[in-house]
Chains A and B, each alone.
Chain A
Amino acid sequence: MSTLRPEDFRSNASEALRDDVLRGALRKATDLFGSQRGAAVAQMPAWEALRERASAIKAEALATLDVQLERFEERARANGIEVRWARDAAEASEQVAAIAARLGRPTIVKGKSMTTEEIRLNEHLEREGHQPVETDLGEWIVQLAGETPSHIIAPAIHKTKGQIGELFAERLGIPRTEDERELTRAARNALRESFATAELGVTGANFAVAETGSILLIENEGNIRLATSMPRVLVSIVGIEKVIPRLADLQVFLRLLPRSGTGQRLTSYQSLLSGPRAGPDDDGPEEMIVILLDNGRSTLLGDDELRESLACIRCGACLNSCPVYREIGGHAYGSVYAGPIGSVITPGLQGLEKTSDLPFASSLCGACRDVCPVKIDLPRLLSRLRAEAVEGVGASPGLGAPPPRRLERAAFALWSWLAADSGRWRLAIGAARLAQRVGLDSLAPPARAWRTGRELRPLAARSFRDLWRTNGEDRQ
């Protein structure tokens, strides 16, 4: 699998910027999702009140997370769900692999889940000799191509129908076509065989409800319904931050999430699952297992500022609105979580050591904060992480030590020294005027690098101070 790394963000982004096909597809997708979202929000007069409410519910859930999780566990167990816990990616993947091993060599069908991407579950299962099959159309295309998803809700937006037609012709042996309907039908037929024989279903969840011990899964295709209804055993991997206190709270999120993601009033399907089949006369899995995953979340929770990022409901609206994401797409971030929220969560989950470029992948314009359905103050969190990246030491113990940005620190130290004294400042501006006359191309390499892609506005021939003095003299 071709996996990009967050530490290579700069070169990944440069690469993406040279890919015209990718950029065309990104523009189309982000424009479409953005305008559909705008239209849906305009039809909901209570939008701001809904966001307030969602934000308050998430804040409550996170501030009482231990209580909510214990309650969820107790209720889920009472309904016959086996609840397990996993400290990290390896522990969660091993648990799924052990279940698969117990079932022999089962056909494994997967529902789209960012959490399973986060823990690289497929890689682990494949190493153990299993063959998990992604069943969301976009995820399946990406899996067949040996790639990774590039958008939270549209995993294959980076691929054209021509590329998909070629891929299907090669891998499924069907005649080459660029017709979306035919390609979709071919996928349905191929995946039906997997569903028909599947013994293990693996999914994530959008929400876990403490009050009832239920999980809720949201989708449009029906593959999650199949993956949760047909196999004998169902395993759902749920991040600990997904729990909400009450069933009634779901209406708030159901009014917000589809509108924010695709502009739909509601997606085609929501499945509220509260246990394995009740008896032999029932459909559904005989065994239902929920794995509650930490994998760095408790570290984020312990940070009074970054805790807010755990409220994310993965709608993708901040990606679509972000002027950086819109140009480079999801792969460049080198993490399953891309865009503004990814630039906070990825350093939060992995530490800043290898991810310290990500908080800089933003213009801090605030578009992400304006569209966020749970009102996460993303620019503030990005600024906070930037400060830490420049200081070179994680203020919170969990974030680790990023490589120090000595040049940036030095530049700001110099600036603050110059700006603190009017004599020094005048001298510096005078020097800058001189440099301007000589030509900016002669600047030293670091300044030249900063100039690439930025326009430095020329200094006026005379300063305001100078003009004031002259005009003042004229008046007298």
Chain B
Amino acid sequence: MSARDEILARIRAGLRGANAPPAVGSPAVGAPDGLDSPAERVAAFSRNLTAAGGHLRVVRGAEQAAIALGELVAQAGARTIALSDSPLVGRLSAQLDGPELIDATDRAGLLEADLGASGVQHAIAETGTLVLETRSERNRLVSLLPPRHVAVLHADDILATLGDALAAVDPGGTGAASRAVTFISGPSRTADIELVLVVGVHGPRELSVILIDPRHEPPTP
């Protein structure tokens, strides 16, 4: 008997007489309330992203987003920037003056890059999480290998809860589903040496989100 058939036979023999009712009802237990309006979702996302150790810059449009990206690059003193193949990221980085731009296909370049820039497919207000899907963008290594990750997010893509995000990525839905969906909440971290938190072990030590929110009202000076 093959290993598969033998294991399944053992399971069936072991379960003879066992029964458990299916876990009925919604699994959205513990999901936060009060995230119905876009403004509430933006506020909760911002709060939770910051609590998770991410940085946030809110802008009203693409033009300001490009400026914000330039400032982040300058602040970091980044000389080489790795870019995902997102058209938005392409447009924003076109205005960068100075740094060398590296393609997401250039693995050797990615290993040396100072900063990686990608888009974001969804975000989760409940947890301050970015959701990156591979069906929309080549984002897996750009968001991971360089020591800084800058992610560009549209306010409309902020969902309320984890359950909403799972429904949105739906890898079982069609053949065109994402092969990898990455949920990111803050920078890479470890506490494996005497439980002292160190940020930036294998992944980026800095996560910055440029949030494009046309409804954003800049504080009056």
A residues sitting closer than 8 Å to B (CB atoms) are 25, 28-29, 32, 44-47, 49-50, 53, 56-57, 59-60, 62-66, 69-70, 75, 79, 84-87, 91, 135-138, 141, 154-157, 160-161, 164, 180-181, 183-184, 187-188, 191-192, 195-196, 209, 211-214, 220-223, 225-226, 228-230, 240, 245-252, 254-255, 262, 265-278, 281-284, 292, 294, 298-299, 301-304, 307
Contacts and interface: CB of A to CB of B under 8 A. Distances in A.
B182 A252 contact: no
27 contacts: A46-B30, A53-B23, A53-B29, A57-B27, A60-B21, A138-B192, A181-B198, A184-B193, A188-B200, A212-B172, A220-B190, A222-B204, A225-B202, A248-B163, A248-B167, A250-B166, A251-B28, A252-B29, A266-B127, A266-B185, A271-B182, A274-B180, A283-B180, A292-B7, A294-B7, A302-B15, A304-B18
A468 B20 CA distance: 53
Given A281-B138, A301-B15, A302-B14, A222 B144 contact: yes
Given A85-B2, A180-B194, A247 B171 contact: yes
A187 B138 contact: no
Interface in B49-104: 51-52, 85, 104
Given A137-B193, A304-B18, A75 B172 contact: yes
Given A87-B6, A269-B183, A137 B201 contact: yes
Contact of A221 (B28, B166, B171, B190): B190
Contacts of A157: 195
A251 B22 contact: no
Contacts of A191: 202
A247 B52 CA distance: 24
B144 A268 contact: no
B198 A180 contact: yes
Given A60-B22, A248-B27, A251-B31, A221 B202 contact: yes
B101 to A, nearest CB: 18
A196 B111 contact: yes
A274 B134 CA distance: 11
B27 A252 contact: yes
Contacts of A195: 202
B162 interface: yes
A222 B141 CA distance: 11
B111 A221 contact: no
Given A240-B7, A248-B27, A301-B11, A137 B192 contact: yes
A284 B195 contact: no
A381 to B, nearest CB: 16
Contacts of A284: 134, 140, 179-180
B135 interface: yes
Contacts of A299: 10, 14
Given A66-B12, A221-B201, A268-B186, A46 B29 contact: yes
